[in-house]
Structure formats: C-alpha cells, structure tokens
Structure 1
C-alpha cells in the first residue's frame, strides 16, 4: 500500500498531503495508439482496458475514494460499426479473467452512470452482475460512464427536478446535484484527460465546475502508475499555490 507512507514524496504521504477523494478520467487516445503501431483500432481499446485495470488498482492502493471513468460516450455511436460493436462488448472482456474476484478482495464497488438501454441485454446483464456482486463492498467506488453525455444528464436532471419541486425558488445550486447521476458522491477534485486533447467533451459538465483540469499528452494505453502519481502531485502543488 502507498497510503500513509512518509518522506518518500509519494502521493498520500505526510510530505505531499492527502490524495484527492474523487478522480475522474477521460481515457482518450486508444485508436491513435493502435494506428501508430499499425494495429486495428480495436487493439487500442483492448490495450486501454488493460491500462484501466491498472489505474483502478493504483487508485485503490493510494486511497482514492471514488474513480469515475469515461468508458463510452453518447458520441461513440458515430464511430465505425466494427469499432462500436467492440466497444459495446468490451465490458464482457473486462469483467472476466478473475477481475471480479479481485474487486471483491479489494472491497471495490462498481457503479454505472449513463443510459444502458441501447446496449444488448447480455451486456447489460454483465454490468448489472458486477454492480450487484460488489454492492456490499465499502471501499473505493468505480463509476463507469457508459453511453453517458453531460448535456443529457443535465436535461434529465432538470426534468426530474421540475417534477419534484413545488416552487422554482426551491431549485438551488445546493439542491440540484441530488438529481444528477453522481448524487451519492462528491464532485471530482481532479479531472484528467489523456492524449493531448484539451476539452471536456460533454463529460461531468456540472460536477467539474470547481475541479482541477489536467490535460496529459500521453495516449491512454500508455498511461500508468507514474503518470497518475505525477498528476496527483501536480494537484497538490496547485492547491498550495491557491
């Protein structure tokens, strides 16, 4: 465990301060990673899945309480059919090879935000099984944003808020977040996007209002423990300068 070590300059030690409670990551650059290597784009998504597993392990070891991963956006449906089909079925690959046992041993809880209705029933069952099996875990929560779009989330939240509210004056910045997908958890302290792109791309638009944004040139499959630790240390530097 890296948590509570001292004097090493690692995130979470006494010298650098606590790790953020909530990290959100836009896992970008899988396709470009594959094209650079003369591989099909699906190979990049598989490599990205492996990087995602390692990031979950690292965040858990560091003591992060909540990790939100942008796994499939509402815009992803516009990609080539073969690539979309691979992405849609990727959860089946992720939740096999012993990963469920590892999640249980690590006390990690799986949640999903977004609209899964467009996914095949078999894939929805795979995801729901992971949610159900880990529902009693009390450690780090991993939110997979699946068929998620920030604007769509805000629209459904506004509709629900209006239905439940007797007076417009009752709708406030404090009450509104209870209608968002992430209502049970704190807003992200740190939002990371890999691959060099510098935009939010419809990700956690309300929740990221006060987050520190960090754009990293590294393509997602190459993102590793050291990149994450450096991002957390930079966050601590920003906080000290504030």
Structure 2
C-alpha cells in the first residue's frame, strides 16, 4: 500500500494526512476482494524498515492503526472475515495496539470467509530467520530439511503462496514482503497512489492476473493435431 506520502505532498498536506486518507481505501479494497471471491488477502501495513521513519510519524501510524482496528472490527466479523497478523513482535509496538490485534484475531478466528492477513512489523528476511531458528530449536536434522519442512516453520505457516502482488504508486520493488511466499507471484504496479486506489482498480488487477499464463518454470502444453 504505497503512495500515502506523495498523495499528501501533491496536496501540500502533511504526510499523516495521506495515511489518514488511506483508511477508506483499505475498507474498500477488503470489501471488493471479498465480493470478487478472493480467499486470502494480505495488506502490508508496516514493515520492519518503517521503524526508521521519524518518531512523530510512527506514533501517528500506531494511533491510526489502533483506531482503524477498533472502528472496523465488528464489520470485519460480520462479513465473516478471519483476521490474522504477520509480524507485530517488536517491543516498541504500544501494548494497547498489541491487545487490539489479539482481540481482533480472537473475535474472528472461527470465521470461514476470506482470510485477511495484516503484515505489521513484518519483514520477509525476519520470517526466514525465524524459520531457521525454529528448525534448529526443534533439532531437525539437516538432511531432513526440504522446502515443505522449512515452510512449516515459518510464522503463520498455513499461509499459502502468494498468487498476485499489487504495489500501488508505480514503485517496482519487493521491499522485503513475504519473500518465501512470493517466489512465483505475479506482479502488477498500478501508478495510482494508494489513497486513490479503489474497487475498480483492484478488479482491473484481478482481470490482468487472470489473463497471464502461469507456467511456474515449465512450458505451455503443445496442441495436438
């Protein structure tokens, strides 16, 4: 979800205004994805690298995320959405926000609609290191470690591989997002800034994804005749 700062800059507003404007996009995209039949949706809300931002901006983001979680928790639950968290281990995360995340996951854990994963204080490299440490602690022999075994030790291990990554604002880089899971993901980089991104943009990306020929390193079968 990229472009909040540039959205605000274009309007001569503080960066925090861009973050506030992004709330409407988040809810619109969640609703549109659910209606389109998307079974797993992940939103990259705050990365391990985002701690390098100014303290004032980080404090604002923590308050904003808490307000959004508390405001929309019952709506997400009513929609049958199961909410998960990927990350959120840094002790700098305010305790009230951590409790709100935990309460949201408890509230929605029995839901069987779309699964919404919020990547917060998330980093793909951090997850891979965590998996390696888990394997070592479990005493798994080196020869027994294969891809399936490694994936089983990742945080939130039942998360499926990512099919499609949408990065708004035209930026074209991974930014440490779910590095293991995006190995064969399709990528789309719409130029629209995140606060302006809406359901029609998401549907356009889904349509583009369905048009792509996904071969996973193989070749298309040859027609006979």
Tell me whether the two structures share a fold, i.e. TM-score over 0.5.
yes
Q: Deviations over 1:145-181 (max 9, x none)?
A: 1111111111111111122243111110121111112
Match of 2:77 in 1: 104
Match of 2:223 in 1: none
Match of 1:114 in 2: 87
1:166 and 1:91 map into 2 onto residues whose CA distance is: 38
- Alignment pair present for 1:202 and 2:180: no
What is the CA distance between 1:123 and its match in structure 2? 0.9
Q: Deviations over 1:3-35 (max 9, x none)?
A: xxxxxxxxxxxxxxxxxxxxxxxx011011011
**Which of 118, 130, 133 lines up with 1:144 in the alignment?**
118
Q: Deviations over 1:41-76 (max 9, x none)?
A: 111001112201111111111111111110000111
Report if the CA contact (8 A) 2:70-2:100 is conserved: no
- Alignment pair present for 1:213 and 2:187: yes
2:125 and 2:119 map into 1 onto residues whose CA distance is: 13
- Alignment pair present for 1:164 and 2:138: yes
What is the CA distance between 1:91 and its match in structure 2? 2.1
- TM-score, reference length from structure 2: 0.91
Report if the CA contact (8 A) 2:28-2:198 is conserved: yes
Q: For structure 1, which runs of at least 5 residues remain unmatched after alignment?
A: 1-26
Match of 1:18 in 2: none
Q: 1:240 to 1:212 in 2, by over 3 A?
A: closer
Runs of 4+ in 1 over 2 A off after TM superposition: 115-118, 239-242
Match of 1:28 in 2: 2
Q: 1:106 to 1:160 in 2, by over 3 A?
A: same
- Alignment pair present for 1:65 and 2:39: yes
Report if the CA contact (8 A) 2:166-2:188 is conserved: yes
Q: 1:161 to 1:218 in 2, by over 3 A?
A: same
Paired residue total: 215
